Amino acid sequence: MTIWSGADLICMKRRPALVLENVQVPRGRRADIAILDGRVVHTGAGAAADRVIDCTGFFVLPAAVDVHVHMRGGSQSAKEDWKTGSMSALAGGVTVVVDQPNTVPPITTPEAFLARIRDAQAHSYCSFAVNSSVTPDIPFEAMWTAGAMAFGETFFAPSTYGETLAAQELSRALGRIHALGGLATIHAEGVTPGEDTDLVAHDALRSPEREREAVTAVHACNPGGCRIHFCHMSTAKAIDVAKGTVEVTPHHLFLSREKTWAGDPRFKVNPPIRSEKERKALWTRWDRIDMIASDHAPHTIAEKALPFSNAPSGVPGVETMVPLLMAEVLDRRITLTDLIRKTVTAPAALLGIPPAGFAPGDRADFALYPQSTVTVEPELLHSRCGWTPFEGSRAIFPETVILGGAVVLREGEFSRRNALWYAGKGYVPKTQGQNTA
Ligand code: DOR
Ligand code: ZN
């Protein structure tokens, strides 16, 4: 893709397709941002453009990348599919998602992988990447050349869907992934056998201590030094022993067992929602947390109403992730700079995709947030699952979302444009033109 500089523009008299006017650049000046061909071409004084959006009164942020979502689809379409999941992402200021491969059936072959890509290309409203499952028998190299973004989440503990790996199997898998130059993303937990009767038991059976041990065990399985990313870490002590990049979810940052009744299966998730004490301890590691990801894991209300031990684990969250954090910014509990680092810059760097941002050449994905909060209600949200564990929380949802320079959401109206597939760096194209949705 051609990247036009401001000077090119003046010489060639190509009008920007869009100018965002009066943007308060975080820790910078007020500027107009000119966009052409999906990139920022100029930040400074405004130029005439095909379309101008006045951003006065809005927080303008580069749009977020969520490296951990379960978009479901196929036999699980009653929970979610690419259309509803990606609309939910856009409505939460997320323009790139990384889909996890524990679909039913799971993504274990290049054929299943490409079918998943085709489904997303046909239906997704946001840009996307898809990971490869990790089982002892997957064809690692073929998954890599098919375009897998990363390998995982690799289940080093059983969860609702997805095959669990034993230590020896994990060791072998990490060796294979390392040889390809790939990234392994790991769900690290330990499970004590027992009766999973309520949230207290769930927390005890998948205890903070076992999570910490699992992280240490993962490192012991990785003598070759494969690049590792830890998914959804739920405790401070596990983070302390993690050597790879660390992702934390909004549900572990904002919810605790004490906030609901112990028998509530809606809050059942792996790793578990912890005690209020553990939740507070997690916040003390804020500076070590590389990124926030939602682990958007929609299940229907009917499934979540099953007796606790039979209910599936997982909560939806792609739409509420940035909005909940924006409310924290408004209350000055976290900084906008940290929010952008942990939801935009660090995830893009982990994946090796172009960063969204304000500088010329940056990917022109933005979200415009008003400066006041609303209360989260399920009716406001777009996931097919129809519920949220954050009901009643304060949040700021974007009013306008821009993807590749096009307005894809404005005042509740969606438009399906510019969604891209980001293939992993091992991708070997078979035919031309596979990279557009
Ligand atoms: O609670 C969870 N649900 N944790 C996972 O790791 C998987 C997820 C799901 O797919 O539902
Ligand atoms: Zn997981």
In a domain, 118, yes or no: yes
Same domain for 139 and 177, yes or no, is yes
Beta bridge partners of 370: 58
Ligand 2 mean position to 129 CA, how many Å? 17
In a domain, 379, yes or no: yes
Same domain for 299 and 350, yes or no, is yes
Q: What is the pLDDT of residue 327?
A: 98
Residue to mutate, 67, 70, 199, ligand 1, most ligand atoms under 8 Å from C-beta? 70
In a domain, 435, yes or no: no
Cα 249 to Cα 27, 74, 129, 231: the distances in Å are 26, 26, 19, 9
Same domain for 89 and 31, yes or no, is no
Three-class SS state of 151: strand
Q: Write out residues with Cβ below 6 Å of ligand 1.
A: 70, 102, 159-161, 187, 269-270, 297, 312-314
Q: What is the pLDDT of residue 26?
A: 87
Can you give the residue range of the structural domain that contains 330? Answer: 61-395
Q: What is the pLDDT of residue 159?
A: 84
Same domain for 48 and 88, yes or no, is no
In a domain, 29, yes or no: yes
Residue 322: CB partners within 8 Å, gap ≥ 6? 61, 64, 92, 93, 94, 339, 343, 367, 398
Three-class SS state of 361: coil
For the chain, 437 residues long, give each residue's pLDDT as a single digit of tens: 445 454 444 444 689 999 999 999 988 899 999 999 999 999 998 788 999 999 999 999 999 999 999 999 999 999 999 999 999 999 999 999 999 999 999 999 999 999 999 999 999 999 999 999 999 999 999 999 999 999 999 999 888 888 899 999 999 999 999 999 999 999 999 999 999 999 999 999 999 999 999 999 999 999 999 999 999 999 999 999 999 999 999 999 999 999 999 999 999 999 999 999 999 999 999 999 999 999 999 999 999 999 999 999 999 999 999 999 999 999 999 999 999 999 999 999 999 999 999 999 999 999 999 999 999 999 999 999 999 999 999 999 999 999 999 999 999 999 999 999 999 999 999 865 555 44
Sheet holding 127-130, edge to edge: 64-69, 94-99, 127-130
Strands 183-188 and 151-156: parallel
For residue 260 the two structure tokens come to 């609901």
The span from the CA of 202 to the CA of 315, in Å, is 15
Residue 336: CB partners within 8 Å, gap ≥ 6? 26, 59, 61, 329
Q: What is the pLDDT of residue 2?
A: 44
Q: What is the pLDDT of residue 430?
A: 81
The span from the CA of 180 to the CA of 150, in Å, is 11
Question: Cβ distance 395 to 326 under 8 Å?
Answer: yes
Q: Counting atoms of ligand 1 from 1, which one is nearest the CA of 313?
A: 1
Q: What is the pLDDT of residue 157?
A: 85
Q: Identify the sign of the CA torsion 257, 258, 262, 267.
A: negative
The span from the CA of 336 to the CA of 354, in Å, is 20
Indicate the pTM of the whole model.
0.95
Q: Any idea what the CATH number is for the domain that residue 316 is in? A: 3.20.20.140
Q: What is the pLDDT of residue 162?
A: 86
Q: Find, among 401, 246, 422, 397, the residue nearest to 321 by Cα.
A: 397
Phi, psi of 327, deg, nearest 5: -65, -35
Q: What is the count of structural domains for the chain? A: 2
In a domain, 300, yes or no: yes
Same domain for 48 and 122, yes or no, is no
